[in-house]
Amino acid sequence: MLFYFLKGIINLLPMDINTTYWFFERIKEDNLCMLYSGNFSDEITNKLIELSEYNINNIDALSKMKKKASFLMAECFQNIVRHGEKIKRLHSDGFFLTKNWGGVYYITSGNLIEKNKIKNLQNQLEKVNSLSKEELKMLYREVLENNEISDKGGAGLGLIEMARKSGQKLDYLFENKDDTFSYFYNQIMLKSDVDELNKVVSDFPLTDSISYHKKMVEKNIILIHKGDFSQDSIFPVLKIIEENLQKEFHDSTQKKKIFHILVELLQNISRHCLKMGDKKEGIFLIGNSDSNYIINTGNLIENKNIKKFKKLLNEINSLNRKELKNLYLSKLRDRNLPTNGGAGIGLIDIARRIISPLNYDFHPIDEKKSFFTMNVIA
Amino acid sequence: MLQTFESTETRDKPYIIFDPQNNRFEIKGNSLPEDTTLFYKPVIEWIIEYAKNPNQTTHLICSLEYFNSSSAKMLYELFIELEKIKDLGKEVKVTWYFDPDDHLIEEKGMEFQSILQIPFQLKEKNN
Query: CA–CA separation, A54 vs A45, rounded Å?
Result: 14
- pLDDT tens by residue, chain A, 378 residues: 555 555 555 555 789 999 999 999 999 888 889 999 988 777 777 778 777 777 777 766 666 777 777 778 777 776 655 654 556 666 678 899 988 887 788 889 998 888 998 998 898 899 899 999 999 898 888 887 776 554 444 447 788 888 888 888 899 999 999 999 999 999 988 876 655 656 666 678 999 999 999 999 999 999 999 988 888 778 878 887 887 777 766 677 888 899 999 999 999 888 888 777 667 789 999 998 877 889 999 999 999 999 999 999 999 999 999 999 999 999 999 988 776 666 689 999 999 999 989 999 999 999 999 999 999 998
Of A235, A333, A339, which has the smallest distance from its Cβ to B11's Cβ? A235
Which residues contact residue A331 at a Cβ distance below 8 angstroms, ignoring those fewer than 6 apart?
A337, A343, A344, A345, A348
Q: Tell me if A263 and B11 make a contact (CB, 8 A cut-off).
A: no
Distance from CA of A352 to the nearest CA of B (A): 12
In this prediction, residue A121 carries a pLDDT of: 87
> Which parts of chain B have pLDDT scores under 70?
127
| Domain boundary assignment for chain A | 1-30+249-378, 34-219
Cβ burial of A179 (10 Å; 0-12, 13-18, 19+) is exposed
Q: Tell me if A252 and B101 make a contact (CB, 8 A cut-off).
A: yes
What residues in A contact B77, CB-CB < 8 Å?
A: 335, 339
Of B34, B70, B101, which has the smallest distance from its Cβ to A339's Cβ? B70
Average pLDDT for chain B: 95
Give the containing element (helix H, strand E) for A78. helix A66-83
Q: Alpha helix locations (H) across B18-102?
A: 36-50, 69-87
The answer to whether residues B60 and B80 touch, using CB atoms and an 8 Å cutoff, is: no
In this prediction, residue A148 carries a pLDDT of: 57
Of A230, A252, A332, which has the smallest distance from its Cβ to B102's Cβ? A252
List residues in chain B touching A: CB distance below 8 A.
11-12, 32-37, 40, 66, 68-70, 72-74, 76-77, 80, 99, 101-105, 111, 114-115
Residue of chain B whose Cα is closest to the Cα of A239: B11
Query: CA–CA separation, B46 vs B42, rounded Å?
Result: 6
Of B35, B76, B99, which has the smallest distance from its Cβ to A340's Cβ? B35
Distance from CA of A240 to the nearest CA of B (A): 15
Sorted by where each starts, the structural domains of chain B and their CATH numbers stand as 5-124 (3.30.750)
Of B102, B111, B115, which has the smallest distance from its Cβ to A256's Cβ? B102
Q: Tell me if B104 and A337 make a contact (CB, 8 A cut-off).
A: no
Is B104 in a helix, a strand, or coil? helix
In this prediction, residue A53 carries a pLDDT of: 77
Distance from CA of A104 to the nearest CA of B (A): 30
Q: Predicted ipTM?
A: 0.94
Cβ burial of A283 (10 Å; 0-12, 13-18, 19+) is buried
Give the strands of the sheet with A171-176, arranged side by side. A171-176, A181-190, A104-114, A94-101, A32-38, A221-228, A281-289, A292-302, A369-377, A359-364
Question: A79 φ, ψ to 5°?
Answer: -60, -45
What residues in B contact A252, CB-CB < 8 Å?
A: 99, 101-102
The answer to whether residues A98 and A52 touch, using CB atoms and an 8 Å cutoff, is: yes
Of B36, B80, B114, which has the smallest distance from its Cβ to A339's Cβ? B36
Distance from CA of B83 to the nearest CA of A (A): 14
| DSSP label at residue A61 | G
Q: With a threshold of 0.95, does the pTM exceed it?
A: no
In this prediction, residue A155 carries a pLDDT of: 46
Distance from CA of A43 to the nearest CA of B (A): 17
Does this chain's domain A1-30+249-378 share its CATH topology with A34-219?
yes
Is B113 in a helix, a strand, or coil? helix
Which of the four CATH numbers 3.30.565, 3.40.50, 3.40.190, 3.30.70 does domain A1-30+249-378 have? 3.30.565
* CATH of span A34-219: 3.30.565.10
Query: CA–CA separation, A79 vs A93, rounded Å?
Result: 13
Is A170 in a helix, a strand, or coil? coil
What residues in B contact A333, CB-CB < 8 Å?
A: 76, 115
